[in-house]
Amino acid sequence: MSVERVDTDSGAAAASNSRYVALVPAAGSGTRLGAGMPKQYQLLAGLPLIQHAVSTLAAHPQIERVYVVLAPNDSHFVSCDWGALGVKVSALYCGGDTRAASVRNGLAELSTQLSASDWVMVHDAARPCLTEADVDRLIQTLSASAVGGLLAVPVADTLKRATAEGLVLDTQSREHLWQAQTPQMFRYQRLVAALARADLATVTDEASAIEQSGFQPQLVLGSAMNLKVTYPADQTLAELILLRFN
Ligand code: C5P
C-alpha cells in the first residue's frame, strides 16, 4: 500500500471542518454494453442504474450534496424518481468528451460553492453496488489525510500481457498491484489543479491526475462487489448483488 506524502498546505488540522460532497460523472454513452440507451439509464434490479449509487451517496449522513455530471443533451435524468433524496441531488449539464473532462467541467461549476479544502468524492455512475460501509471506510481512513485516496482491491488473478493477436507475450507480477475503484476522494482545490495540469487523454481516474502532480494517494481496501458495469456480464453480476444485499 502506498505511503502518502504529507505536506503542510492543506493538512487535516487546517481542514477539520471540511465538508464532503460527491461528484458523479454520468455523461458517458456506454457503448460497450451494446444497448440503445446510455448504460446509466438501463434498468438494473428495477431502477435506472444511475439511481443506485446516487441514492447511496445522497443517503449518507456525512455527504452534504451529490452533483451528477450529465451530457449537455441528457433527457433521461429528469425522468428518474429521486424521491425524498432528491433535495440533495443536483444535475450539472456539462459533461465532456472523456470521463476526466466531465469531472473537470463538473468541478469548475462548483467553484463558488466549495472551499479549497472541502472533500470531493468522485464516484462512477456505473458502479451501482457501492454501500454505505464503503463510503464510511473511505471517510474514516482519509479524513485526516493531507492528500486523499481511493477504494481499491488487490489484484487476485495472474496477469498476462497480450499481443494484438491475443497471444501471451509475458506474465506480469501481481505483487503490489491493486485495481482502482471509485469513490476517489480528494480535496477540491488540489483535484482542480491536478486535472488542469493532467493530460486528460490518458487520465482515467482522479488518482492518476493527483499522482502526475507528485502526490501519493492512499489505497483504501474496497470490495470486489463494487464492480463497474461495462459489459453485459457485469450487469448480471451487479443485479445479483443488488437483489441479494439491498
Ligand atoms: O466508460 P466508463 O465506464 O469508464 O465510464 C465511467 C464513468 O464515467 C461512467 O459513469 C460514465 O458515465 C462517466 N463518463 C462521463 N463522461 C464521459 C465518459 C464517461 O461522465 N465522456
Kindly indicate the confidence band of residue 8, based on its pLDDT and cuts at 50, 70 and 90. very low
User: Whole-angstrom Cα distance, residue 113 to residue 97?
Assistant: 24
CATH number at residue 62: 3.90.550.10
In a domain? residue 142: yes
CA–centroid distance for 214 within its chain: 21
User: Whole-angstrom Cα distance, residue 230 to residue 14?
Assistant: 39
**pLDDT of the residue at 187:** 97
In a domain? residue 5: no
In a domain? residue 7: no
In which domain, by residue range, is 147 found? 15-245
- DSSP for 113-160, please give it: T--TT-EEEE--TT-TT--HHHHHHHHHHHTT-SSEEEEEEE--S-EE
User: Whole-angstrom Cα distance, residue 225 to residue 228?
Assistant: 9
Centroid of ligand 1 to alpha carbon of 171 (angstroms): 29
In a domain? residue 208: yes
Tell me what the mean pLDDT of segment 124-142 comes to. Answer: 97
Among 99, 105, 202, which residue has the most ligand 1 atoms within 8 Å of its CB, making it the best to mutate?
99
In a domain? residue 8: no
Q: Helices (DSSP H) in 33-98: which residue ranges?
A: 49-59
Q: Ligand 1: which atom is nearest the Cα of residue 70?
A: 20
In a domain? residue 9: no
pLDDT digits (tens, 9 = 90+) for 13-45: 445 689 999 999 999 987 666 667 888 999 999
In a domain? residue 47: yes
pLDDT digits (tens, 9 = 90+) for 40-62: 999 999 999 999 999 999 999 99
Q: Is the CB of 230 under 6 A from ligand 1?
A: yes
In a domain? residue 150: yes
Sign of CA dihedral 189, 134, 99, 88: negative
Number of domains composing the chain? 1
User: Whole-angstrom Cα distance, residue 55 to residue 66?
Assistant: 9
